[in-house]
Amino acid sequence: MSTVTENQTRSNGTYATASNGSKTSVGGARAAAIAAVTGYKPSPPPMNFKDTPTGDLFNANVFSKAVMKQRLPKPIFKALCGTIEGGEKLDCSTADAVASAMKDWAIEKGATHYAHVFYPLTGSTAEKHDSFLSPDGEGGALAEFSGKQLIQGEPDGSSFPTGGIRATFEARGYTIWDVTSPAYILENANGTTLCIPTAFVSWTGEALDKKTPVLRSMQALNKQAQRVLKLFGHTDGALVSSTAGPEQEYFLIDRNFFYARPDLLNAGRTLFGAPPPKGQEFDDHYFGAIPDRVLAFMLECERELFKLGIPVKTRHNEVAPSQYEIAPMFEFANMATDHQQLMMTTLKKTAEKHGMACLMHEKPFAGVNGSGKHVNWSMGSASQGNLLDPGDTPHENAQFLLICAAVIRAVHKYQGLLRAVVASASNDHRLGANEAPPAIISIFLGDQLTDVFEQIKAGGANSSLPKGTLTVGVDVLPPLPKDAGDRNRTSPFAFTGNRFEFRAVGASQSIAGPLVAMNTIVAESLDYCATRLEDATGGDPSKLHGALQKLLTEIMNEHGAIVFNGDGYSEEWHQEAEKRGLLNLKTTADALPILQTEEVKELFTKYDVLSERELSSRLDTYLEQYCLSVSVEVKLTLEMARTLIFPAAIRYQNELASTCANLKMLGYEFDTDTLDRMTGLVKSLQDSIAELQATLEEPESEDLLAEANNYCNVVLPAMAKVREYADELEAVVEDDLWPLPN
Ligand code: ADP
Ligand code: MG
């Protein structure tokens, strides 16, 4: 990038001064946008942790159990707890009392409106705002909020994708209060709102959202886990919940840079750009000044998230320049999902406040590591604790090994589903591309646990176990790994000491889909194991360990192929995985059809997580979203290639041509290599633009999958061609003429 003086101007645009003092050359309409942000001075509020200690901030804006206990009459509070913890039905008078207390609390906190917050299939967060005020009939207004308004809302959600569910009935959808996720206050510059987390369903009760299936899948998991626990003598019935702790990766960049790139602004990633020179992955120009601002940003984020009851710990991530990570303490899966959505919103909002843009695209910059979301997953109950904790005694070990084996079986059996639930146009740039983790789903167990399972596997081959070989729950097991010392970053599904970590999830995705899949496939596996063991023991506990040994051996023989501790990036693994019969679904178009297989339909209907219609509506919606994302990128590519890159190339070609003409006129000897190269590239660019345009001229197909395949196999390669020539041009064209900050 060239440096120029403040008041220098050019015929093709203006020079905008970035807030960090750097200059970038820009042209046309974007200049206005940049001018609007260049004068920007970040004005974060003072971070005063002395007057308000972090401990006091935590949950400050949450209608938490403590607040409810304090504000609700005792019987009402008890009834509400019964609903939250025991799933009992909420009656109208309880709802009215809760609503009234909630309203008073919210108004004291400055709220003027309440919003039912719901989570449509786009993976985003939606809100419908209503005022507390109603006319009192005498020219005044009263603050009102009834139990009915708390429990149910009717958003005009007709603009959200529903995969055809509502089209055949009526446009209406309802939001229904999820009592298990507490209401909270959201403070915005323009006002304060009471937010009520809700499920979004059609009037026939079909789930139109991401939350409802999470709740259903948690129920399914609990039911099957209870049967397994009973076999081990735990009959207290304490609710088994799945737990989740998502680690969010993101990029932070200066907003000036963000606004100067139409591709970043509109598609969340750069669609053009030659690979950065070796050893300098980014231009320091933009990134050098950030760390102080980043720290201020992080502190403010942390504070806002604490107020919302989200227990975060932030960290700097070293993987790529300007890439960071934030992770909360794990919570119950549905809470973690709601909190994750809030976290993404808070990150973006706070970044803007600090003059930056928070990018959650999976691959904002080619040639630099992308962003994912590691979803740590486990299950546990109040009486049993974490069920994936190996424990210290053989008995605990036996229970742990069974549950762990159930997960292994589930992941092997439903590897395609796990791939499908992380499929998106943007995540395709990570999975299956040259980046971690690969599109092949496998499990990392670590050496020690792998060894234990290897022994279990061998146990099945010999009817009498050789001396010293492990017999589950009888011989003393070697101490099982509690701390995952040996880390493997390339595995998409890794055991990390007391939980599994699903790393293929995309940074911008809702974690709901992956959690629904994990909860349901493990529920199915636990169901299978419980049934087998119940049949084999016939209720006689003394037969348990023999039956268990047999079952574990069988599971490992049938499903052990999913375990892989090596380097997931390597070419050898791709070959080995193929030999093992593991799926390698490289793209979204390859992966999504898994949702229409009989096996997956059966899985979701059997455990009442998704009906066939609900499942097919999701397939349609995700296919549509895929096509939409790619088509946005294609349109942007065409526009940028035509209106920014091609004109710059022509201008440079023109300069070269006139130089050559002048030299010729003066009778000098000269060669036209550069001009020839430019002419060749300009022609190639022009042709590739025409070819890309032609791919769009195909009539739109009624068949969504066919359309997705066309985008994937025809349109995307044509788009890559345009980029290839544009990037070659970037390396040749005079820097001053290049229209995009690189
Ligand atoms: P890493 O070493 O992978 O960076 P971190 O310690 O940053 O791991 O993050 C681990 C995440 O796993 C945290 O969000 C943490 O709360 C979560 N976690 C820990 N225990 C459990 C559990 N039992 N269930 C779900 N998530 C858990
Ligand atoms: Mg991790």
Q: Any idea what DSSP says for residue 202? A: E
For the chain, give the mean pLDDT.
86
**Cα 185 to Cα 51, 54, 194, distances in angstroms:** 21, 18, 5
Ligand 2 centroid–CA 504 distance in Å is 11
- Nearest Cα neighbor of 640 from 689, 676, 682 is 689
Nearest listed ligand to the Cα of residue 245: 1
Q: Where does 354-474 have alpha helices with state H?
A: 394-413, 415-420, 447-461
% of the chain residues with pLDDT over 90? 62
CA distances to 77, 129, 174 from 156, in Å: 32, 11, 9
SS3 34: helix
Overall average pLDDT of the 721-738 stretch? 93
Question: Residue 16's pLDDT is what?
Answer: 36
pLDDT of residue 209: 94
pLDDT for the residue 5: 34
Q: Which ligand is nearest to the CA of 505?
A: 2
Q: What ligand is nearest to the CA atom of residue 377?
A: 1
Q: Which residue's alpha carbon is nearest to atom 14 within ligand 1? A: 245
Given pLDDT bands bounded at 50, 70 and 90, which one contains residue 270?
A: very high
Beta bridge partners of 188: 191
**Of residues 82 and 283, more confidently modeled:** 82
Confidence of residue 338 (pLDDT cuts 50, 70, 90): very high
Q: What distance in angstroms lies between residue 374's CA and the mean position of ligand 2's atoms?
A: 5
Please give the structure tokens belonging to residue 442: 């496998």
Phi, psi (5° rounding) for residue 295?
-60, -45
pLDDT of res. 191: 86
What gap in Å lies between CA 327 and CA 658, rounded to an integer? 58
DSSP SS3 for 669? coil
Q: Residue 555 pLDDT > 90, yes or no?
A: yes
Confidence of residue 143 (pLDDT cuts 50, 70, 90): confident
Measure 243 CA to ligand 2 centroid, in angstroms.
15
Q: What is the pLDDT of residue 432?
A: 73
Q: What pLDDT score was predicted for residue 21?
A: 37
CA 247–ligand 2 middle distance (angstroms): 6
- pLDDT reading at 574 higher than 80: yes
Supply angle C-alpha 356, 643, 27, rounded to 5: 50
How far apart are the CA of 484 and the centre of ligand 1, in A?
Answer: 12
Q: For 429-433, 538-542, 616-620, 655-659, which range has the lowest pLDDT when averaged over its residues?
A: 429-433
Averaged pLDDT, 264-269: 92
Q: How far is the CA of 378 from the centre of ligand 1 (A)?
A: 10
For residues 187 and 482, which has the higher predicted lDDT (pLDDT)? Answer: 187
Who has greater pLDDT, 252 or 29?
Answer: 252
Higher pLDDT, 468 or 140: 140
Section 650-666 average pLDDT: 94
Residue tagged 């939980």 (tokens): 499
Q: Are 645 and 733 in contact (CB under 8 A)?
A: no
**Residues enclosing ligand 1, CB less than 6 A?**
243-245, 247, 327-330, 374, 376-378, 386, 498-499, 501
Give the distance (Å) from ligand 2 centre to CA of residue 445.
14
Q: Helix %, strand %, coil % for the chain, to 5?
A: 50, 15, 35
Amino acid at residue number 357: A
- CA 573 to ligand 1 centroid distance, Å: 27
Q: Tell me the mean pLDDT in the region 104-131.
A: 92
Contact 493, 500 (CB under 8 A): yes
Q: Which residue has the least CA distance to atom 8 on ligand 1?
A: 247
Report whether pLDDT(287) > 50.
no
User: Ligand 1, from 376, 482, 503, 522: best to mutate by most atoms within 8 Å of Cβ?
Assistant: 376
Neighbouring CB atoms inside 10 A of 702's CB total: 7
Q: How far apart are the first and last CA of the chain?
A: 8
Q: In this model, does residue 394 exceed pLDDT 70? A: no
- Give the pLDDT score at 447: 81
Each residue of 490-506: pLDDT tens digit?
Answer: 889 999 989 999 999 99
DSSP state, residue 643: I
pLDDT at 219: 95
Relative to the CA of 376, which ligand 1 atom is closest? 26
Angle between helices 394-413 and 544-559 (to 10 degrees): 30
The predicted pLDDT at position 92 comes to 86
Alpha-carbon distance of 141 to 104, in angstroms, equals: 16
Ligand 1 atom closest to the CA of 246, numbered from 1: 14
How many helices (H) and strands (E) the chain has is answered by 25, 20
What single-letter amino acid sits at 515? L
626-632-633-635 Cα dihedral, nearest 10 degrees: 140
Which of 313, 330, 377, when mutated, tests ligand 1's pocket best, judged by the most ligand atoms within 8 Å of its CB?
Answer: 330
Q: Give the pLDDT band (50/70/90) at residue 22.
A: very low
Residues of the chain above pLDDT 70, percent:
84
Which ligand is the nearest neighbour of the Cα of 330? Answer: 1
Least confident of 24-33, 149-158, 359-368, 556-565: 24-33
Contacts of range 65-70, beta carbons closer than 8 Å, 24 or more positions apart = 65/182, 67/105, 68/98, 68/101
- Rounded to the nearest angstrom, the distance between the alpha carbon of 239 and the centre of ligand 1 is 21
pLDDT band at 277; cut points 50, 70, 90 = low
What integer pLDDT is reported at residue 14 of this predicted model? 33
| pLDDT grade for 454, boundaries at 50, 70 and 90 | confident
Confidence band, pLDDT 50/70/90 cuts, at residue 599: very high
Range with the lowest mean pLDDT among 420-434, 451-465, 547-561? Answer: 451-465
pLDDT at 55: 76
pLDDT computed for residue 699 by the predictor: 73
pLDDT of residue 86: 72
Q: Give the pLDDT of residue 568.
A: 85
Q: How confident is the model at residue 463 (pLDDT cuts 50, 70, 90)?
A: very low
Residues 430-459 have a mean pLDDT of: 84
The predicted pLDDT at position 367 comes to 82
Among 359, 357, 297, 312, residue whose Cα is nearest residue 44: 297
pLDDT range class, residue 8, cuts 50, 70, 90: very low
Minimum-distance ligand 1 atom for the alpha carbon of 247 = 14
Q: How far is CA 296 from the centre of its chain?
A: 25
Q: Which of 33-42, 210-219, 300-309, 311-320 has the weakest average pLDDT? A: 33-42
In this model, does residue 261 exceed pLDDT 90?
no
169 confidence band (pLDDT: 50, 70, 90): very low
Specify the pLDDT at position 7. 34
Place of tokens 């786009």: 122
Residue 161: cis peptide before it, omega within 30 degrees of 0 = no
Best of 240, 241, 247 for a ligand 1 pocket test (most atoms within 8 Å of beta carbon)? 247
Tokens of 70: 């304090």
Residue nearest atom 2 in ligand 1 by C-alpha distance? 496
276 CB-contact burial (10 Å; exposed 0-12 / middle 13-18 / buried 19+) = middle
pLDDT at 481: 61
Residue type, 592: L
Token code pair at residue 224: 């099957």
473/413: higher pLDDT: 413
